[in-house]
Each structure stands twice: as structure tokens, then as C-alpha cells.
């Protein structure tokens, strides 16, 4: 069969994407607006997407579509049930960011635990030049050794984060949730993880069950000295509650790489939050050069395997 492959948001991947080793025609677009999706996919048998949303209404207008290859692990933008009903295979990317995301987590953690932003600000304001001694002791610095990291999500990235945490001498607690992925991992009740964690790091998918997982009640259960880190999905954290928690010193700080709406075209209160105990990065934890090339290679591997009748990484 000759396939027609259409990549709707090529600019979302900064890597070399090889052409699949199968008979095909190919189109790609830097970006695709919602009203352009159906016209561009009208003849497609394979759609490559990252953040373009494909709901039941759109899928109903694409009778030729046989496969959706997602250039990401998350698939909350795809109506999986509708794909299943229409016989459309959906494959995602797995285990490509097992180093880059955990590294980004600890970049945030270390910056916050050692108050690097606050110290940099003071240096820029001339405080060190005016100091009576060789160093400044103006901000609290805490070690990671002996502290506790709570992790929500025991998949590959959660496991990678745990490995680094243990390397720092931290105790690791994985939070309990229904239908755990890895039976060999010991899970701790969620409330206990909230209460005992010095750092809480989120590594779970965004689903109806995890939407707003961290709200004001959960933030109140955390230690006042604790940090919240989210490099997973913005919707896991109630953003208004987080601002309240920081304003009321319910937690010591937060590091986010994700927002509920991306890009935040109409603004977001977190964009205006100027405080040394809050760091926001623009959804780049996954985006090391090495990880993106691994993703691009796996993307084409998924398409080739499906076309050969040996599908892999299917979302069901």
C-alpha cells in the first residue's frame, strides 16, 4: 500500500527526521491551525502530530486516516476511544526523555534549595560588594542529602528521577494511585507522600483523574519547607492555588516547566510571578538535543513497524 504521510507541526521537533522506509508520499507543515487540520489531512493515511488536537468531529471527516504517530509521550490531545472505534492506530514515543527530564527536575530543585535566584539578584544589586566579610549569608541553603523526594508516577521518567535522587542520598517515596504500572515498586499513600516530602515531583499523565491533582488542600498538607516540581502537564496543578500557597508561604517554592494552556497567548498569572522561590521554564525539560533526536528516530520506527504489520508503542 502506498501511504500519504502528513506532518502537521514540524517546527515542534528540532531534530533530523528521516523519511520512512516504505512506499509513500510526504507533506509537512511548520504549524497547523485548527481550521487547517481537516483540509491538510484529507488524503492522509498517516498523520504525524505533536500538539494538534484530533477529536471525534475531526476524525469523522478523515476516512482515509489509518494511523496517528504522536511525536510525544502524552496523548491527551487525541480522542483515543474515537480512534479505536474507527480502527485508527495511535502510537506514541516512549522512554526518550529518561535522562533530560530528570536532569531538568534537579536543575530546578538545586536552584531552589540553594536559593540561587535570590543570591544572583543580590549580587546584581551590589550586596556582595558591600559585604563586611568574604561571603553572604542572606538566604537559607539546604542540602538534598537525607531529605525525602516524593514522586507521582513510577514510569521511566519517574524512575529516572528517583535514581538521581538516590544518588544525592535522598529517600524516595512513590505515591500510590490506582492501576500502578510497575508492581515491583512499593507505593506509599498519597497523603503520606504529601506530608513527608521535602520535594514533590510530578511525572504522571494528565487524565480526568489527575486533573487538578495538586490543589490548595494538597498544598496545605505539604511541609512549609517543601518544593513542588512539575515537568509533566500543567493541568496537574491548580495554578491559582499554587500562587495562593506561595503568597501564604504554605510551601517553600515551586519549579514548573508546564502551564495549563501552552503557549500562554492570553497571559497567565504565573508569568507575572516575580519571586526568587518560583522558577518557570517554557516546556523544555524534554528538549535536549539528544532526547529530540531519539524521539525523531523512534517516531519513524513506529511508522515503519506499523506499516510492516508489527505495530509498536500503540496507545490503547
Per-domain residue ranges for the chain? Answer: 3-96+290-307, 100-280
Residue 298: which of 159, 91, 99 has the closest Cα? 91
3-class SS of residue 272: helix
Residue 51: which of 84, 73, 67 has the closest Cα? 73
Element (H, E) at 196: helix 190-196
Residue 173: which of 165, 26, 181, 213 has the closest Cα? 165
pLDDT score, position 177: 85
Buried b (16+ CB within 10 A) or exposed e, 20-35: bebebeeeeeeebeee
Distance CA 229, CA 166 (A): 17
Q: Which sequence positions are flagged as catalytic?
A: 233, 262, 283
Grid coordinates of 208: 480526568
Helix and strand counts by DSSP (H, E) for the chain:
10, 12
Query: How far from 287 is each of 13, 159, 273, 295, CA to CA, in Å?
Result: 9, 19, 24, 10
pLDDT score, position 316: 86
188 neighbors 174 (Cβ within 8 angstroms): yes
According to CATH, what is the number of the domain 3-96+290-307?
3.40.50.720
Reported for 176-183, long-range contacts at CB under 8 A and 24+ positions apart, including other chains, are: 177/152, 177/204, 178/209, 180/154, 181/154, 181/155, 182/154, 182/155
Rounded to two decimals, the pTM is 0.88
Residue 257: which of 202, 218, 210 has the closest Cα? 202
Query: How far from 315 is each of 66, 87, 90, 132, 177, CA to CA, in Å?
Result: 14, 12, 6, 61, 20
Q: Position of cell 504529601?
A: 194
3-96+290-307 matches 100-280 in fold? yes
pLDDT tens for the chain, 316 residues long, are: 899 999 999 999 999 999 999 999 999 999 999 999 999 999 999 999 999 999 999 999 999 999 999 999 889 899 999 999 999 999 999 999 999 999 999 999 999 999 999 999 999 999 999 998 999 999 999 999 999 999 999 999 999 999 999 999 999 999 998 777 777 889 999 999 999 999 999 999 888 999 999 999 999 999 999 999 999 999 999 999 999 999 999 999 999 999 999 999 888 999 999 999 999 999 999 999 999 999 999 999 999 999 999 999 999 8
100-280: CATH topology is Rossmann fold (3.40.50)
The alpha-carbon radius of gyration of the chain (Å, integer) is 22
User: Which segments within the chain are labelled E, that is strand?
Assistant: 3-7, 24-28, 46-49, 67-70, 89-91, 148-152, 171-175, 187-188, 199-202, 227-230, 253-256, 278-280
pLDDT score, position 292: 96
3-class SS of residue 171: strand
Grid coordinates of 108: 530546578
Amino acid at each position: 500500500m502506498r501511504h500519504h504521510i502528513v506532518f502537521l507541526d514540524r517546527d515542534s521537533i528540532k531534530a533530523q527526521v528521516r523519511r520512512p522506509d516504505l512506499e509513500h508520499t510526504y507533506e509537512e507543515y511548520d504549524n497547523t491551525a485548527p481550521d487547517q487540520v481537516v483540509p491538510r489531512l484529507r488524503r492522509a493515511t498517516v498523520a504525524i502530530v505533536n500538539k494538534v488536537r484530533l477529536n471525534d468531529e475531526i476524525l469523522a471527516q478523515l476516512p482515509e486516516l489509518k494511523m496517528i504517530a504522536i511525536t510525544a509521550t502524552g496523548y491527551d490531545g487525541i480522542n483515543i476511544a474515537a480512534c479505536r472505534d474507527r480502527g485508527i492506530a495511535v502510537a506514541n514515543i516512549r522512554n526518550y526523555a529518561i535522562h533530560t527530564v530528570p536532569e531538568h527536575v534537579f536543575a530546578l530543585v538545586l536552584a531552589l534549595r540553594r536559593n540561587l535566584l535570590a543570591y544572583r539578584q543580590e549580587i546584581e544589586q551590589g550586596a556582595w560588594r558591600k559585604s563586611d566579610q568574604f561571603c553572604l549569608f542572606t538566604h537559607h541553603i539546604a542540602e538534598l542529602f537525607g531529605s525525602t523526594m516524593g514522586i507521582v508516577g513510577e514510569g521511566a521518567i519517574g524512575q529516572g528521577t528517583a535514581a538521581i535522587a538516590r544518588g544525592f542520598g535522598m529517600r524516595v517515596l512513590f505515591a500510590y494511585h490506582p492501576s500502578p504500572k510497575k508492581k515491583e515498586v512499593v507505593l506509599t499513600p498519597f497523603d503520606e507522600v504529601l506530608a513527608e516530602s521535602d520535594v514533590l515531583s510530578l511525572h504522571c499523565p494528565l487524565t480526568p483523574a489527575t486533573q487538578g491533582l495538586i490543589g490548595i488542600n494538597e498544598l496545605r498538607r505539604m511541609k512549609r519547607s517543601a518544593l513542588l516540581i512539575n515537568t509533566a502537564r500543567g493541568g496537574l496543578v491548580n495554578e491559582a492555588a499554587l500562587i495562593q500557597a506561595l503568597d501564604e508561604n504554605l510551601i517553600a517554592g515551586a519549579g514548573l516547566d508546564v502551564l495549563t494552556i501552552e503557549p500562554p497567548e492570553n497571559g497567565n498569572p504565573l508569568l507575572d510571578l516575580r519571586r526568587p522561590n518560583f522558577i518557570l521554564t517554557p516546556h523544555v525539560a524534554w528538549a535536549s538535543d539528544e532526547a529530540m533526536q531519539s524521539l525523531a528516530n523512534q517516531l519513524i520506527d513506529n511508522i515503519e513497524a506499523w506499516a510492516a504489520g508489527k505495530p509498536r508503542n500503540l496507545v490503547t
